[in-house]
A and B are shown apart, each in its own frame.
Chain A
Amino acid sequence: MLPPAPALVTTAGGFLLVLSIVAPVAGVLLEFALGERYVRPVVSTVIPVGLAIAAAVLVLLPRSDGHLVYLLGAWPPPLGVALRADGLSAVMLATTAVVICAVAIFAATDFRPQSVEARTPFAFWILLLAIWGALNTIFVAGDLFTLYVALELLTFAAVPLVSLDGRAETLRAALRYLLFALLGSVFYLMGTALLYGLYGTLDIVLLSHRVSAEPGALIAAALMTSGLLAKTALFPLHLWLPPAHAGAPAAASAILSGLVVKGSFFIVVRLWFYVLPALPGFTAAQFLATLGAGAILVGSIVALRQERLKLLVAYSTLAQIGYLFLLFPLALDASGRLETGQALAGGLIQAISHATAKAAMFMAVGSIYAGLGHDRITGISGAARALPLSVMTFALAGFALMGIQPGGASLAKELLLQETARTGQWWWAGVLQVGGMFTAAYVVLVLAHALSPPDRPVALAARPPRGSGLAALALALCSLFLGLLPWEPYLPIPYALESKLFGVEALVKLLVTVLGGVALAILLSPWPHPLAGTVARRDLKTVPGPFRRACLGFGSLVERGDHVLRQWPAAGICMLAVALLLAASMFGAN
């Protein structure tokens, strides 16, 4: 009675999926068993092996019809467990490998054995490989329960990274992160139990054939989605993200912000597009994207008001996570079914571009922090001359994020904008543009301070090593040239698009984004401009004075609101409300 489920046999090259999990996990075990002295050789073996596996998956995938499957122990689902890779998995595997590699090079000097307190580097390298293993499992898992276990592994590896330096403040951040993530994973597990009870399988392909719009399935979908949103830190469930990402050491922040939040985002995509594409419907998708729009607004405004650079970057992550969720309503077809088309490709490319750019940005900020001994935005004037490599990395990563051609973000934005036109949802086009402007705003804000001449010569606390600076720069450049890569074998992208990335029209769009960003930065950032003393600036200031005061008042209001939302009871109630509203909108659609 059911249509035959495709690909229930192991394909050639399927063992690569097992290897992609086994290699990092073996690294973790070896490091742990052999002890500190052998950390370096183990890491420097595992990372090239992991890169090679990711590259092999990229090469093999188009040749085997876009799917790699491995049945563990040759047991077919529903009784056995399958590992599957499609185009999405392949590009995410490759991104993870590249980012981990860059972060490892960056951290090689930071976390050299004997450089800090002995246990910190040891723990860092173990956790780095553990995160890699967990992420790879998420990308190739073929059933919802394996995804749950992988998600938990990811959390358990990410939480200690937050508190790596062992200060009370970061321990608190780690505990908040852990407890809220656990709440999220219990929600996910509850949904899994309901789905198993209804359909007797958790395999993604089998489930997608069996699932129908029953009350139980809708409740399960709402529970699982809201649990995953809590783990992704989508506004208003972001109480743990800013302190956790801002408190961790630079290399750890890069991993947390670039990769870890993408893990749960990827599961949301799997769930909505591959397990139950017909269930969510128009209202639920709009709701998800509305939360995303809220994240862009609140995250960006609060980012512009931060005193510390790391917190600014952490809040910008919050905004960028919101940006990712705009893909859901744009992927709806006429019958309210989510289709794996251009919008999904755009969202994935945005996620990849953010993973590379934000990791580079956090590493650059870490170098600036190490170099100057602080990261107060008002005190970084002259940084561009003292630390040119770090500031340039920050600038390039920022440009890639705000959508300068040929960056991944510009390609993603173009894809998503075309989808807004196709589906007639013009309001999301506005949100996409404003999101780009806000990104430009905080990049411009930081660069304006970093490029302005200092009052007195900058005294460097320490000179960051060149190797780590180059690793961050390479990652930023990687993000800046993502738009030129051949995506067609992996993601559904029309061929004609790339020509549109260059030309006068693109230049005009870029200028609008940057100018809008400058205006937003001037209006919403409370910090005195580095050139505030000059006469021209003073003349300029009289014109928008009252308006700027109103904007600042609004910003302060948003900041207070954000503070309230980041309290436990408020965040918990938000979580329940999100689950209820999602369920209600899904019930309404069916």
Chain B
Amino acid sequence: MSAVTVFGLYAAAAVGLGLYGLITTPQPLRKIIAFNLLGSGVFLLFGIVGRRGAAAGFGNDPVPQALVITGVVVAFSATALAIALLLRLFQIAGSTTLNSRAAASPRSDPSGN
């Protein structure tokens, strides 16, 4: 098994774990962490893409590295924004659940007849 395949499998595992966490956990903080895991998987994928470019005769394709760095910056700002929102929510509401009370109890049928 070549290094590229091993890293590819790692990337797939990170993406899978991140997706699972993002979809199933109800706590927003865990969702944010899961998003970061998912993002890391994708960045690893970009790294592998760069290595494959190396197989085609380049030293090591630099473009994916530039893309990953940009991607990391974007993911970092996303995380910061999400954490800021979460902190503010906790300060105001005292809890961090995403399900508001209104959403938890569907409105009774308003038809008058």
Instruction: Please report A residues at the B interface, Cβ cutoff 8 Å.
Output: 78-79, 145, 148-149, 152, 155-156, 159-160, 163, 166-169, 171-172, 174-176, 178-179, 182-183, 186, 189-190, 192-194, 196-197, 200, 243, 305, 307, 526-528, 545, 549, 552, 556, 559-560, 563, 566, 568-569, 572-573, 575-576
Q: Are B109 and A526 in contact (CB under 8 A)?
A: yes
Q: Which residues of A contact B23 (CB under 8 A)?
A: 568-569, 572-573, 575-576
Q: Are B64 and A175 in contact (CB under 8 A)?
A: no
Instruction: Given A183-B22, A569-B23, decide whether A171 and B85 contact each other with a Cβ distance below 8 A.
Output: yes
B98-113: CB near A (< 8 Å → 1, else 0) gives 1010110011011111
Instruction: Given A149-B74, A169-B100, decide whether A186 and B81 contact each other with a Cβ distance below 8 A.
Output: no
How long is the Cα–Cα vector from A366 to B31 in the complex, in angstroms?
33
Q: Are B113 and A179 in contact (CB under 8 A)?
A: no
B78 at the interface (CB under 8 A from A): yes
Q: Which residues of A contact B78 (CB under 8 A)?
A: 152, 155-156, 178, 182
Kindly provide the distance from the CB of A239 to the nearest chain B CB, expressed in whole angstroms.
10
List 25 A–B pairs whose Cβ atoms lie within 8 Å, in order of A's numbering: A149-B74, A155-B78, A168-B93, A169-B100, A169-B102, A171-B85, A172-B93, A178-B81, A179-B22, A186-B35, A186-B38, A186-B42, A189-B39, A189-B71, A190-B42, A192-B67, A193-B67, A197-B45, A197-B48, A200-B53, A552-B111, A556-B109, A568-B26, A568-B98, A572-B23
Known: A182-B78, A186-B18, A196-B49. 18 other contacts (CB 8 A): A159-B85, A163-B85, A167-B92, A168-B100, A175-B85, A175-B86, A179-B28, A186-B42, A190-B42, A305-B110, A526-B110, A526-B111, A526-B112, A549-B113, A552-B109, A559-B106, A568-B26, A572-B22
Kindly provide the distance from the CB of B107 to the nearest chain A CB, expressed in whole angstroms.
7
Q: Are A560 and B111 in contact (CB under 8 A)?
A: no
How long is the Cα–Cα vector from A168 to B23 in the complex, in angstroms?
22
How long is the Cα–Cα vector from A305 to B78 in the complex, in angstroms?
35
Q: Are B89 and A168 in contact (CB under 8 A)?
A: yes
Which single residue of chain B is at the shortest CB-CB distance from A155? Answer: B78
Q: Are A189 and B42 in contact (CB under 8 A)?
A: yes
9 interchain residue pairs of minimum CB distance:
A572-B23, A526-B111, A168-B93, A197-B49, A171-B89, A193-B45, A168-B92, A152-B74, A175-B85
Kindly provide the distance from the CB of A442 to the nearest chain B CB, expressed in whole angstroms.
16
Chain B, interface size: which category? 35 or more
How long is the Cα–Cα vector from A176 to B74 in the complex, in angstroms?
18
Q: Tell which of A156, A186, A243 touches B77, judged by Cβ atoms closer than 8 Å.
A: A156
Q: Tell which of A145, A156, A183, A563 touches B70, judged by Cβ atoms closer than 8 Å.
A: A145
Kindly provide the distance from the CB of A237 to the nearest chain B CB, expressed in whole angstroms.
12
How long is the Cα–Cα vector from A109 to B61 in the complex, in angstroms?
53
Kindly provide the distance from the CB of A230 to the nearest chain B CB, expressed in whole angstroms.
12
Q: Which residues of A contact B110 (CB under 8 A)?
A: 305, 307, 526-527
Q: Which residues of A contact B106 (CB under 8 A)?
A: 559-560, 563
Q: Are B82 and A196 in contact (CB under 8 A)?
A: no
Give the secondary structure class of B's interface.
Answer: helix
Q: Are A193 and B35 in contact (CB under 8 A)?
A: no
Q: Are B82 and A179 in contact (CB under 8 A)?
A: yes
Q: Which residues of A contact B67 (CB under 8 A)?
A: 145, 192-193, 196
B24 at the interface (CB under 8 A from A): yes
Which single residue of chain B is at the shortest CB-CB distance from A200? Answer: B53
Q: Which residues of B contact A167 (CB under 8 A)?
A: 92
How long is the Cα–Cα vector from A192 to B67 in the complex, in angstroms?
10
How long is the Cα–Cα vector from A182 to B82 in the complex, in angstroms?
10
Instruction: Given A149-B74, A152-B74, A179-B32, decide whether A159 and B38 contact each other with a Cβ distance below 8 A.
Output: no
Q: Which residues of B contact A179 (CB under 8 A)?
A: 22, 28, 31-32, 35, 82
Kindly provide the distance from the CB of B19 to the nearest chain A CB, expressed in whole angstroms.
8
Kindly provide the distance from the CB of B59 to the nearest chain A CB, expressed in whole angstroms.
15
Q: Which residues of A contact B77 (CB under 8 A)?
A: 152, 156
Q: Which residues of B contact A305 (CB under 8 A)?
A: 110
Q: Are A193 and B89 in contact (CB under 8 A)?
A: no
Instruction: Given A152-B74, A171-B92, A189-B71, decide whether A178 and B45 contact each other with a Cβ distance below 8 A.
Output: no
Q: Are A171 and B63 in contact (CB under 8 A)?
A: no
Kindly provide the distance from the CB of A378 to the nearest chain B CB, expressed in whole angstroms.
9
Kindly provide the distance from the CB of B63 to the nearest chain A CB, expressed in whole angstroms.
7
Q: Are B28 and A569 in contact (CB under 8 A)?
A: no
Which single residue of chain A is at the shortest CB-CB distance from B61? Answer: A200
Q: Are A172 and B15 in contact (CB under 8 A)?
A: no
Which single residue of chain B is at the shortest CB-CB distance from A564? Answer: B106
Q: Which residues of A contact B38 (CB under 8 A)?
A: 183, 186
Kindly provide the distance from the CB of B39 to the nearest chain A CB, expressed in whole angstroms.
6
Q: Which residues of B contact A560 (CB under 8 A)?
A: 106
The listed residue with most A CB atoms (<10 A of its CB), out of B18, B42, B107, is B42
Which single residue of chain B is at the shortest CB-CB distance from A79? Answer: B63
Q: Which residues of B contact A149 (CB under 8 A)?
A: 70, 74
Q: Which residues of A contact B98 (CB under 8 A)?
A: 172, 175-176, 568
Q: Which residues of B contact A186 (CB under 8 A)?
A: 18, 35, 38-39, 42
Q: Tell which of B24, B35, B93, B100 touches A183, judged by Cβ atoms closer than 8 Å.
A: B35
Which single residue of chain A is at the shortest CB-CB distance from B86? Answer: A175
Q: Which residues of B contact A196 (CB under 8 A)?
A: 46, 49, 63-64, 67
Which single residue of chain A is at the shortest CB-CB distance from B39? Answer: A186
Q: Which residues of A contact B35 (CB under 8 A)?
A: 179, 182-183, 186
Q: Which residues of B contact A307 (CB under 8 A)?
A: 107, 110
How long is the Cα–Cα vector from A238 to B57 in the complex, in angstroms?
45
Which single residue of chain B is at the shortest CB-CB distance from A307? Answer: B110
Q: Are B15 and A190 in contact (CB under 8 A)?
A: yes
How long is the Cα–Cα vector from A526 to B112 in the complex, in angstroms?
7
Q: Which residues of A contact B70 (CB under 8 A)?
A: 145, 149
Q: Which residues of A contact B49 (CB under 8 A)?
A: 193, 196-197
